[in-house]
Structure 1
């Protein structure tokens, strides 16, 4: 029997058992398959039935305002960057891609800020894009995070966007929530007791977001700040131990564990949360293996492999691979014959993330792309 003659429910049953990264190639197969892959009912079926493969996780980088898939090899002198980026067409132009300024990952979705101050949620696997209209205007100093809560009635995830509108003098952090069920922003509150530096990146773990923040009052100690999307509240958490004058950065392990990197006095430590909420040491490397602050910065991104105990730190266009009892390995980013990638903005371009392909949708009944709003 030809596949075109198969009943739709049988096609859905077959496709629901195929990994998401493979399904992404089928979007152009036919209009029928494209409609299936965009439907919310199929996305829910796929989440329940598709095989969970550890090797399906990808690494992505934000390079030259575009999102690329990367393959990291310890044996090669350069990191292999895919020849073509994930294509994100600008709806306001027939010939250009969207210039991405920063990116935040949660549950297979990318929350992107653009170079022209727009905000959108993008699923590179399904191709779904949702442009978010601001309540007033977006600002370069804003912080954004994507998270979710569980709807007990539908047994589905309900996605929300957090926006923190930061003002430095006087210190005011006004925060609001965008709810995809109502497509509106709601002002939640104001916080004046903490400060987020521009280089601090939020990390999503199990639907909530975490940052390393700084106390607004003296002695301005760093602490762990979290936002609970169910309660829509911030919470202050203690770091595993004081880190005065250290370089601190956050990452995650499979969106299930929080990972913390610190560098002080040429000693690098990496800690990972445990199932009980405590911290365990993953890596401890001393100056013997040429660790200096010049290799790292507070704006860097990093990923940790808890199995092999390898940490990879992205600083500008250089990737550093750190292992215990081994010298640091340096890889320059390259695409094709290019030996390096030039960045327009250092702090906003050095982004390295894990990405788990999925057919996740921001709304259960959302099946069409929206038009980009004017700003």
Structure 2
């Protein structure tokens, strides 16, 4: 009999689907796999080796997954709850992802690999003044490593009922451990420029913000970060000397680094990577593509978005306007469009690592209700499939 530490090390290299089947082999293995220390070990192993990553695609046809080890087929996956219309997804965090179908309906925290989810409690939007209406709702998902807690940030923008001009913002944060929402201080003179808090890295969520107090005609932008641990905001600078006038910008995450995509009126896409977090001088241009030639049929703003590097780091997978995926060779400056069966025509992709993190039972405690019946059904299903397999 192998010692438990060695068993844990071996099991940590396996995909989630296999581990769920192995839980039924014997009681010792089940105890190891369900343990919080193994959940963290498995996640660390997958992140450091860049293994067991998938794309989760939101679309009007539903939710899809694409295995990044093969990238040959888009598989329709059952959503955590039934919805009508477009299924929006947030940034992923340690295998968890937020699914939204309506700004006024509570989002769902979901692990698509475990098929476990939690519907977040409703948080009534408080209007700060009369004659205001809801303009936009942004969501972001982050991890508080100090408290081993997952947190959801909801930023709400309000506009005037008469002029429809932006007036102010409000920010709330949800703690999975506490299962409750709390208000955080509002940012003054800052205005959102995207549809969500885009990137979770270095324990913080990030978004592009427009400084509405800028006195000049040229718009001024800044990267605003929100620490999910300290629950405070701080600013970061864009790459020095980049053009922001008539340029559409978007934040992304690429192998643990903050990434900025810029698209100008000539359909030139420039992608920058911050190689050392928080250091302005570490911004490095990864690639520049355009004008239309390599990508002649895309003319939308910020149409090329980096998703992941290849295993050898010589190629980067690009989302081409939510219609196609392509490998871009950083050495040869060439592009290779992928043929993926059953890929929806319009999609919003999010890179997600397989994990054993449970949204319905955070950490080692049971601070939120566990879906006992669903868990028993899953165990029975795993037992039957293992016997057949």
Task: Give TM-score, length-normalised by structure 1.
Answer: 0.75
Task: State how far apart, in whole Å, the 2-side matches of 1:233 and 1:51 are.
Answer: 27
**Aligned residues of 1:302 and 1:312 also touching (Cα < 8 A):** yes
Q: Secondary structure at the match of 1:334?
A: coil
Q: Could you say which residue in structure 2 is the equivalent of 1:214?
A: 210
Is structure 2 residue 190 aligned with structure 1 residue 194? yes
Q: Could you say which residue in structure 1 is the equivalent of 2:130?
A: none
Give how far 1:263 is off.
Answer: 2.0
Structure 1 vs Structure 2 CA RMSD: 3.8
Note the residue ranges of structure 1 that are not aligned, 5 or more in a row: 74-78, 344-349
- Give 1:19-58 correspondences, 5 Å limit: 19=12, 22-28=15-21, 37-44=33-40, 46-47=42-43, 52-58=48-54
Task: State how far apart, in whole Å, the 1-side matches of 2:354 and 2:334 are.
Answer: 33
Q: Could you say which residue in structure 2 is the equivalent of 1:160?
A: 151
Is structure 2 residue 13 aligned with structure 1 residue 14? no
Task: State how far apart, in whole Å, the 2-side matches of 1:53 and 1:191 are.
Answer: 38
Residues 326, 68 of structure 1: alpha-carbon distance in 2 compared, 3 angstrom cutoff: same
Task: State how far apart, in whole Å, the 1-side matches of 2:205 and 2:301 are.
Answer: 22
**Aligned residues of 1:43 and 1:361 also touching (Cα < 8 A):** no
**Aligned residues of 1:259 and 1:270 also touching (Cα < 8 A):** yes
- Give 1:92-111 correspondences, 5 Å limit: 100-111=87-98
Residues 229, 179 of structure 1: alpha-carbon distance in 2 compared, 3 angstrom cutoff: same
1:118 aligns with one of 82, 87, 106: 106
Is structure 2 residue 285 aligned with structure 1 residue 281? yes
Task: State how far apart, in whole Å, the 2-side matches of 1:177 and 1:318 are.
Answer: 34
**Aligned residues of 1:99 and 1:114 also touching (Cα < 8 A):** yes
**Aligned residues of 1:225 and 1:234 also touching (Cα < 8 A):** yes
Give how far 1:311 is off.
Answer: 4.9
What are the Cα deviations for residues 66-112 of structure 1, in whole angstroms up to 9, with x where unaligned? 13124488xxxxx6233342x4443xx7xx99973223211222122
Residues 60, 49 of structure 1: alpha-carbon distance in 2 compared, 3 angstrom cutoff: closer
Q: Could you say which residue in structure 1 is the equivalent of 2:142?
A: 147
What are the Cα deviations for residues 310-355 of structure 1, in whole angstroms up to 9, with x where unaligned? 35123132335444665655456531xxxx6244xxxxxx322222
Task: State how far apart, in whole Å, the 1-side matches of 2:13 and 2:299 are.
Answer: 36
What are the Cα deviations for residues 5-24 of structure 1, in whole angstroms up to 9, with x where unaligned? x9xx95x8625532466232
Equivalences, count: 340
Task: State how far apart, in whole Å, the 2-side matches of 1:321 and 1:45 are.
Answer: 31
Q: Could you say which residue in structure 1 is the equivalent of 2:344?
A: 341
Q: Secondary structure at the match of 1:24?
A: helix
Note the residue ranges of structure 2 that are not aligned, 5 or more in a row: 127-133, 161-165, 374-389
Residues 283, 253 of structure 1: alpha-carbon distance in 2 compared, 3 angstrom cutoff: same
- RCO greater where, 1 or 2, for CA within 8 Å and sep 6 or more? 1
Q: Could you say which residue in structure 1 is the equivalent of 2:224?
A: 225
What are the Cα deviations for residues 39-64 of structure 1, in whole angstroms up to 9, with x where unaligned? 53542454577794223333332233
Give how far 1:297 is off.
Answer: 2.7
Give how far 1:187 is off.
Answer: 0.8
